[in-house]
């Protein structure tokens, strides 16, 4: 029975391989259907096998992959109380997004490449989620990076898209290096890469080593999850097709960092400094993303920055010791952010392939279904009371506040401010896109198909996600509600420190959160309910360009790198090495010509030389004879 | 010995130098070959003289060999001269400078 767990990995892998190898020979319907079926079957299987995660969970080990001295790494799966909900979420959301992609990609020529990469992505993501050792996790970690690269640059004929793919790959690689160092360090000091064993034996590490490893793990997580300071790739990653943004850059891959920290939470939590760093990174990124989202003009970039910001909340949760809070927010966020992205894909199609929200407007009448779905996602994102996003965000803020020292209070303050900004930019988005009249809507000609109705499969994948997002709070209601703390109870000790807070405090914070959302909504209504052309001040541009992070990095890293490259190319290679070799060759050539001048080819000069040589020899012998007596 | 050995050596040296002069100064291939013959004969003369002086046959044997060798050499070189003349239409030694570096 437990061996069926392998099928979870195998199904998407086989689906991806079939599409990669023979996909172009299959019909579009068959290749897409295969991809959907593979992931859908994995989701059904995950649901069916869910009981295996109960208790201590189930471990299965297929074979030893690397075996050398002390290092023993196997293809082992760990299906426990942490990985099971995550795996279920990944497969379920993936299934819906694959279905959506069937409609979205209906006119693309390279459907096989798309579905192959999408399926392989699910495989790699499940590797991360289900791995029982860090080496296998790292394999999946790199796998999702590769698939993400391939899918961001899916329309690679435009250099902009290919560059975005490269950027995502390179920036996340920076984080991967930290993660790899952390793995080596862990293996060097504890002699194992097994996740359970690492968590159990972490206490044996020296405090300094623990802090170092925690920070390195944070570095790895930061790269994958687009947190400060490695966040610049996520907004550009929106160059990929919308299903990719929904699946990889909202629901699953960017949360892999959070999952990694939760997976190793028993280890990470031993280092107070590491936790504080995680909380700080999370809070700052949440704030950074929210401010940037306030002034973005492309609908998908707004959502990208909001993803960054929400993942920041999850980091914050891990940092304040509430791994279950992080997982809770991860799950609800996956639902509503996938929903928002997919609805955004519909919105873009309805607006005639227009990305700019300042040129949309009035879309509510065009498709009420899309509007209501998008609104449901937006309510969750803004944290309107009783939606999933409200409860999960509130749990995080409560956990931060209840730690009760200056650091955590300031982190809470930053989080609360971010919650206000979140409501503001979310409702700005809703107002600009759906309210009022269509602006600038006369679409540029040549966009085939904008008048076609949306495929049914694109529209009808939205309501299930909307339901999941709105009802996501049921997963983990706060204390005092019926069915409270389902996820906390399920995760048990894996969920991190229990939040100790009085009921009154909890209600107060909920009230504060509600008030913040209300203020954000009122401000958004006041500023954006009636369209005004966007301001162009210095601050607006600063936020639009994401705090100039790209330019700062260009000055800090890219330009020095290019300068060093130029120096090595022009200076060292061309001047020093090539010049040295050329000089040596020239010298030898010149010497050769000098010697060659003696070989005149004229018989007479040879004969003269012969005679002179003979004369010289005779003279030598004569002189010797005479001198020697 | 009727002729003093010193005279033999002087004549032989004169012949050698004259031959060398022809080899060095002439441009015509045949004249250069003649110069070579004169040089060889000068050497042969010295050998015969020495043989007569010491009353030993070695020198004369050497000269007989030398003559045979010279005959062969002349046969080959004259054949080559004919071939070269056909090739370039000239006997000037400086025309043949294909080996110039």
pLDDT reported for residue A181: 94
Return the residue in A603, A606, A609, A614 with the most chain B beta carbons within 10 A, the one to mutate for interface testing.
Answer: A603
Q: Which residues of A touch B94 (CB under 8 A)?
A: 602-604
Q: Do B97 and A600 touch (CB under 8 A)?
A: yes
| Cβ–Cβ below 8 Å for A599 and B32 | no
Q: Nearest by CB to A602, from B20, B23, B94: name it.
A: B94
Residue numbers in chain A where pLDDT is lower than 50: 444-450
Q: Say if CB A101 and CB A108 are below 8 A apart.
A: no
Q: Indicate the helix (H) or strand (E) that contains A146.
A: helix A134-152
Q: How far apart are CA A255 and CA A278, in angstroms?
A: 14
Which position has the token pair 């699910």?
A122
Task: Give the number of other CB atoms < 10 A from CB of residue A209.
Answer: 17
Contact between A608 and B24 using a beta-carbon 8 Å cutoff? yes
Task: Note whether B49 and B12 are within 8 A (CB).
Answer: yes
Residue with the two structure tokens 């003093």? B4
pLDDT given for residue B26 in this prediction: 87
pLDDT of amino acid A451: 52
A50: Cα separation from own chain's centroid: 27
Q: Which CATH class is domain B5-90?
A: mainly alpha
* Shortest Cα distance, chain A CAs vs residue B24, angstroms: 6
ipTM (interface predicted TM): 0.81
Contact call for residues A474 and A486 (beta carbons, < 8 A): yes
Count of A–B CB contacts within 8 Å?
35
Which residue's entry shows tokens 């010193």?
B6
Task: Tell me what pLDDT residue A449 has.
Answer: 44
Q: Which residues of chain A are within 8 Å of residue B97 when distances are taken between CB atoms? A: 600-602
List beta partners, residue A66.
Answer: A73
Residues in A lying within 8 Å of B, measured between beta carbons: 595-604, 607-608, 611
Owner of token pair 């010295």: B46
Residue with tokens 């904008």: A450
Q: pTM for the whole thing?
A: 0.78
The pLDDT score that the predictor gives to residue A452 is 62
Residue A448: predicted pLDDT:
43
Which runs of consecutive H residues, i.e. helices, occur in A351-442?
368-382, 388-402, 406-434
> Hey, are the CB atoms on B101 and A595 less than 8 Å from each other?
yes
Burial bucket for residue A265 (CB in 10 Å: 0-12, 13-18, 19+)? buried
Tokens of A538: 């210095």
B22 to A304, B42, B46, B72, B93: CA distances (angstroms) = 100, 13, 20, 21, 13
Q: Kindly list the domain boundaries of chain B, sorted by start residue.
A: 5-90
> How many angstroms separate the CA atoms of A571 and A167, rounded?
27
> How many residues belong to chain B?
101
Q: Do B23 and A602 touch (CB under 8 A)?
A: no
The pLDDT of residue A441 is 54
User: Which of A600, A607, A612 to mutate to test binding with chain B, by most B CBs within 10 Å of its CB?
Assistant: A607
Torsion angles phi and psi, residue A352, rounded to 5 = 75, 50
Smallest CA–CA distance from A609 into chain B, residue: B24
Cβ(A289)–Cβ(A307) below 8 Å: yes
Per-state percent for chain A, helix, strand, coil, to nearest 5: 75, 5, 20
pLDDT in 10s for each residue of chain B, 101 residues:
688 899 999 999 999 999 999 988 888 889 999 999 999 999 999 999 999 899 999 999 999 999 999 999 999 999 999 998 998 888 888 888 777 76
* CA angle in degrees (0–180, nearest 5) for A476-A481-A483: 55
Which single residue is written with the structure tokens 């239409």? B89
Q: How far apart are CA A38 and CA A91, in angstroms?
A: 10
Does any CB of chain A come closer than 8 Å to the CB of residue B80? no
**Nearest CB to A607; choose among B24, B100, B101:** B24
Using the beta-carbon criterion (under 8 Å), do A601 and B24 form an inter-chain contact?
no
The whole-angstrom separation of Cα B88 and Cα B73 is 22
Q: Do A611 and B20 touch (CB under 8 A)?
A: yes
Nearest CA in chain B to A612: B24
Q: Do B100 and A595 touch (CB under 8 A)?
A: no
């Amino acid at each position: 029975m437990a061996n069926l767990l392998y099928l979870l990995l195998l199904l998407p892998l086989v689906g991806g391989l079939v599409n990669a190898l023979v996909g172009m020979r299959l019909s579009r319907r068959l290749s897409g259907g295969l991809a959907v079926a593979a992931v859908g079957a994995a989701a059904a299987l995950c649901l069916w096998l869910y009981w295996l995660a109960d208790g201590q969970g189930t471990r299965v080990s297929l074979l030893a992959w690397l075996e050398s001295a002390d290092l023993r790494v196997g293809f082992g799966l760990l299906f426990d109380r942490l990985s099971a909900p995550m795996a279920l979420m990944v497969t379920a959301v993936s299934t819906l997004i694959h279905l959506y992609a069937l409609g979205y990609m209906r006119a693309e020529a390279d459907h096989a490449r798309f579905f192959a990469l999408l399926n392989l992505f699910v495989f790699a993501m499940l590797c991360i989620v289900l791995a029982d050792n860090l080496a296998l996790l790292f394999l999946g970690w790199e796998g999702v990076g590769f698939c993400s690269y391939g899918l961001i640059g899916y329309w690679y004929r435009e250099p902009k898209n290919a560059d975005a793919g490269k950027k995502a790959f390179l920036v996340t690689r920076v984080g991967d290096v930290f993660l790899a160092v952390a793995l080596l360090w862990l293996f060097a000091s504890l002699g194992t890469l097994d996740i359970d064993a690492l968590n159990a034996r972490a206490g044996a590490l020296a405090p300094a080593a623990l802090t170092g490893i925690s920070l390195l793990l944070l570095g790895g997580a930061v790269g994958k999850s687009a947190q400060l300071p490695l966040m610049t790739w996520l907004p550009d990653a929106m160059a990929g097709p919308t299903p990719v943004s929904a699946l990889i850059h909202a629901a699953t891959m960017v949360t892999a960092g959070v999952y990694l920290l939760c997976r190793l939470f028993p280890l990470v939590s031993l280092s107070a400094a590491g936790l504080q760093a995680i909380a700080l990174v999370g809070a700052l990124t949440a704030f950074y993303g929210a401010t940037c989202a306030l002034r973005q003009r492309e609908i998908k970039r707004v959502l990208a920055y909001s993803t960054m910001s929400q993942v920041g909340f999850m980091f914050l949760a891990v940092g304040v010791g509430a791994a279950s809070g992080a997982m809770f927010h991860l799950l609800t966020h996956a639902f509503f952010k996938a929903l928002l992205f997919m609805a955004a894909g519909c919105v873009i199609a309805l607006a005639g392939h227009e990305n700019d929200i300042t040129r949309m407007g009035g879309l509510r009448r065009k498709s009420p279904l899309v509007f209501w779905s998008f609104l449901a996602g937006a309510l969750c994102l803004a944290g309107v009371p009783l939606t999933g996003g409200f409860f999960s965000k509130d749990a995080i803020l409560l956990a931060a506040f209840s730690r009760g020292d200056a650091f955590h209070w300031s982190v809470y303050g930053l989080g609360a401010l971010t919650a206000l900004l979140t409501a503001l930019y979310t409702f700005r988005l809703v107002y600009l896109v759906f309210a009022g009249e269509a602006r600038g809507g006369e679409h540029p000609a040549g966009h085939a198909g904008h008048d076609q109705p949306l495929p049914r499969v694109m529209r009808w994948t939205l309501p299930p996600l909307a339901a999941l997002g709105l009802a996501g709070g049921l997963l983990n209601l706060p204390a005092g509600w019926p069915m409270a703390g389902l996820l906390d109870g399920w995760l048990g000790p894996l969920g991190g420190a229990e939040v100790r807070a009085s009921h009154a405090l909890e209600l107060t914070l909920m009230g504060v959160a509600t008030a913040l959302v209300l203020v954000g909504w009122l401000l958004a209504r006041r500023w954006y309910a009636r369209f005004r052309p966007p301001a162009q001040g210095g601050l607006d541009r600063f936020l639009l360009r994401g705090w100039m992070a790209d330019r700062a990095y260009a000055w800090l890293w890219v330009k020095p790198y290019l300068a060093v490259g130029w120096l090595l190319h022009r200076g060292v290679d061309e001047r020093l090495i090539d010049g040295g070799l050329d000089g040596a060759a020239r010298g030898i050539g010149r010497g050769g010509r000098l010697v060659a001048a003696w070989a005149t080819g004229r018989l007479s000069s040879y004969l003269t030389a012969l005679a002179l040589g003979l004369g010289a020899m005779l003279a030598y012998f004569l002189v010797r004879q005479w001198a020697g007596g | 010995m009727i002729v003093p050995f010193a005279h033999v050596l002087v004549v032989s040296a004169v012949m050698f130098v004259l031959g060398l002069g022809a080899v060095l100064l002439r441009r015509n291939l045949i004249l250069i070959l003649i110069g070579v013959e004169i040089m060889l004969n000068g050497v042969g003369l010295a050998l015969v003289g020495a043989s007569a002086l010491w009353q030993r046959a070695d020198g004369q044997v050497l000269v007989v060999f030398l003559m045979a060798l010279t005959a062969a050499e002349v046969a080959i070189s004259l054949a080559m001269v004919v071939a070269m003349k056909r090739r370039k239409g000239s006997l000037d030694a400086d025309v043949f400078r294909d080996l110039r570096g």
